[in-house]
């Protein structure tokens, strides 16, 4: 199915602007990791954990639900809209930080939701930029894998940076400072998008300019690409509840931190291993295999959930996580019209976040009735359904308006004169 002849990561990074976009990705994701953490701590210190939980949920839903619409809006009106959204969101978060000192918690809660609703689509736009930057599909696979791995590291580092900053100053100042990072990230993204080659569009999409196109999620391709990612989020959210309970069953709940780290480590290892190989199987077959590995990991967790080997099962669940995302991004590039790549990538991010929220809620309710073993079986069942959906993806794009054309991008520029 594969051969170890994929371009090395350093070869993909040698493509013109690749390092710049990768660094910009780190800058764009830092506020995404710092802001939710800062909101949680700020509200906890002022109003208690109950209100803080409401604020965290309001922020996550406000970012996730309108995410595809924001990305579609920015794609149709140009990169400057990303900058305007970043400015609006930054001002709202600054107002939130100032309002947290008020006795009425409803005011900062509403401001938090408003700031999340205008959160700029930085990561989806950057993901779309890779398809216009890389010279071929092998480089695109390699850079998506590397970018996803860096993303994992960024979200591990962000809470540590936030904790260190809060040891020196008030959490509200950390919130305002984190929001300020949205501006340089948006400025950098605007500059990158303006310098990249223009995305090609299909004849069908050209005829639909100025008309309302149906949602990507109403197409067979859109559903087949997004639903497995939603189920991946469901499994990830379920793990956040299962891991502490399972750890308490055989030891100390504090040891659950090792299992959470193992989940992220699995994602890192899986992503790096996947990106270093040339795969001859179709993207549909790879997507099916990756979601099938998620089923196997959940079943393994069910078998080991009451032993110290839980950490091994959690690592195995993490292994297909980054490959699922990478294959989903590649499917977007292959099957979705280039003018809608940012919107499609936003659906992936929003789908994972909403699935994670649903998984946490579902697992919490099931754990109140039974143990982690049965909950893991339920997650395996959901992953099995996702495997079937991935398998049912059409061999070719199922809709004319979403079919991405073959394209030839510029060869990477030489680094020597």
Q: Kindly give the confidence (pLDDT) of every residue in the chain, 417 residues in length, as a single tens digit, with 9 standing for 90 and above.
A: 444 456 677 777 877 788 888 888 888 888 988 898 888 888 888 988 778 878 888 888 898 888 888 888 887 787 788 899 999 999 999 999 999 989 899 999 999 999 999 999 888 888 888 877 876 777 888 888 888 888 878 777 887 788 888 888 888 999 999 999 999 999 988 888 777 665 544 444 444 444 346 678 888 888 899 999 999 999 988 887 787 777 776 665 556 667 777 888 888 888 888 887 778 888 899 999 999 999 999 999 999 877 788 889 989 999 999 899 989 988 998 888 888 888 888 889 889 888 888 888 788 888 878 888 888 999 999 999 999 999 988 876 554 344 443 433 333 333 333
Question: 193 and 274, same structural domain?
Answer: no
Question: 223 and 169, same structural domain?
Answer: no
Question: 226 and 179, same structural domain?
Answer: no
How is residue 392 annotated by DSSP? T
pLDDT value, residue 18: 81
Question: 195 and 307, same structural domain?
Answer: no
In a domain, 70, yes or no: yes
Cα torsion 293, 374, 64, 269: sign: negative
In a domain, 1, yes or no: no
Question: 261 and 154, same structural domain?
Answer: no
pLDDT value, residue 6: 61
Question: 193 and 221, same structural domain?
Answer: no
Look at the chain and count its residues: 417
pTM of the predicted model, to two decimals? 0.76
Question: 232 and 195, same structural domain?
Answer: no
238's CB contacts (< 8 A; 6+ apart) are 359, 360, 362, 363, 375, 376, 378, 379
Cβ atoms < 10 Å from Cβ of 210 = 6
* DSSP letter string, 267-285: HHHHHHHHHTSEE-S-HHH
Compute the distance between CA of residue 337 and CA of residue 344 in angstroms, rounded to an integer. Answer: 9
Q: Are strands 2-3 and 278-279 parallel, antiparallel or unpaired?
A: antiparallel
Compute the distance between CA of residue 333 and CA of residue 393 in angstroms, rounded to an integer. Answer: 15
pLDDT value, residue 213: 61
In a domain, 284, yes or no: yes
Q: Residue written as tokens 């030839």?
A: 408
Question: 233 and 172, same structural domain?
Answer: no
Domain that holds residue 157: 16-199
Beta bridge partners of 3: 278
Residue 3: in which H helix or E strand, if any?
strand 2-3
How is residue 46 annotated by DSSP? H
pLDDT value, residue 387: 94
Question: 290 and 157, same structural domain?
Answer: no
Q: Give 83-88 contacts, CB < 8 A, sequence gap 24+.
A: 83/120, 83/183, 83/186, 83/187, 83/190, 85/118, 85/119, 85/120, 85/121, 85/186, 86/120, 86/122, 86/182, 86/183, 86/185, 86/186, 87/182, 87/183, 87/186, 88/118
Compute the distance between CA of residue 175 and CA of residue 152 in angstroms, rounded to an integer. Answer: 21
Strand ranges for 252-381 from DSSP E: 278-279
Domain count, the chain: 2
* Helices marked H in 78-181: 80-99, 106-117, 122-133, 137-166, 171-180
Question: 396 and 284, same structural domain?
Answer: yes
Paired tokens of 350: 């929003």
Closest CA to 274 of 259, 261, 287: 287
pLDDT value, residue 55: 87
Residue 262 CA: distances (Å) to CA of 37, 136, 316: 21, 33, 9
Q: Coil, strand or helix: which one is 225? A: helix
CATH assignment at residue 219: 1.20.1250.20
Question: 277 and 367, same structural domain?
Answer: yes
Compute the distance between CA of residue 298 and CA of residue 399 in angstroms, rounded to an integer. Answer: 34
CA-based R_g, the chain, Å:
21
Question: 226 and 195, same structural domain?
Answer: no
pLDDT value, residue 197: 62
Residues 199 and 336 sit within 8 Å (Cβ to Cβ): no
């Amino acid at each position: 199915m594969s051969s170890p002849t994929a371009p090395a990561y350093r070869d993909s990074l040698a493509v013109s602007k690749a390092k710049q976009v990768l660094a910009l990705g780190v800058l764009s994701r830092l506020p995404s990791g710092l802001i939710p953490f800062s909101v949680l701590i700020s509200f906890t210190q002022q109003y208690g954990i109950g209100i803080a939980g409401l604020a965290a949920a309001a922020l996550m839903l406000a970012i996730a639900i309108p995410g595809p619409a924001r990305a579609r809006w920015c794609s149709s009106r140009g990169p400057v809209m990303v900058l305007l959204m970043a400015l609006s969101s930054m001002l709202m978060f600054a107002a939130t930080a100032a309002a947290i000192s008020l006795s009425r918690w409803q005011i900062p809660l509403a401001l938090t939701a408003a700031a999340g609703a205008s959160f700029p689509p930085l990561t989806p736009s950057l993901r779309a930029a890779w398809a216009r930057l890389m010279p071929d599909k092998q480089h695109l696979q390699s850079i998506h894998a590397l970018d996803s791995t860096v993303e994992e590291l960024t979200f591990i580092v962000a809470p540590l940076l936030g904790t260190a900053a809060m040891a020196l100053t008030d959490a509200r100042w950390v919130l305002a400072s984190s929001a300020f990072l949205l501006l340089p990230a948006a400025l950098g993204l605007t500059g990158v998008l303006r310098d990249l080659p223009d995305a090609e569009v299909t004849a069908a999409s050209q005829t639909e300019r100025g008309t309302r196109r149906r949602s990507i999620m109403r197409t067979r391709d859109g559903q087949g690409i997004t639903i497995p990612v939603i189920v991946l989020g469901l499994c990830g959210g379920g793990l956040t509840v299962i891991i502490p309970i399972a750890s308490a069953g055989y030891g100390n709940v504090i040891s659950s931190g090792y299992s959470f780290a193992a989940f992220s480590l699995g994602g890192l290892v899986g992503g790096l291993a996947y990106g270093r190989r040339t795969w001859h199987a179709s993207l549909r077959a790879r997507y099916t295999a990756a979601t099938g590995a998620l089923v196997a990991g959940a079943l393994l967790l069910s078998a080991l959930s009451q032993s110290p080997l839980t950490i091994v099962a959690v690592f195995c669940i993490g292994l297909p996580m980054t490959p699922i995302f990478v294959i989903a991004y590649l499917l977007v590039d292959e099957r979705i019209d280039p003018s809608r790549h940012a919107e499609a990538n936003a659906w992936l991010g929003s789908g994972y976040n909403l699935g994670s929220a649903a998984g946490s809620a579902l697992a919490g309710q099931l754990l109140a009735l039974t143990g982690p073993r049965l909950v893991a079986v339920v997650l395996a069942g959901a992953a099995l359904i996702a495997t079937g959906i991935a398998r049912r993806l059409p061999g070719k794009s199922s809709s004319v308006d979403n079919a991405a054309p073959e394209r030839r991008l510029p060869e990477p520029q030489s680094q020597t004169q």
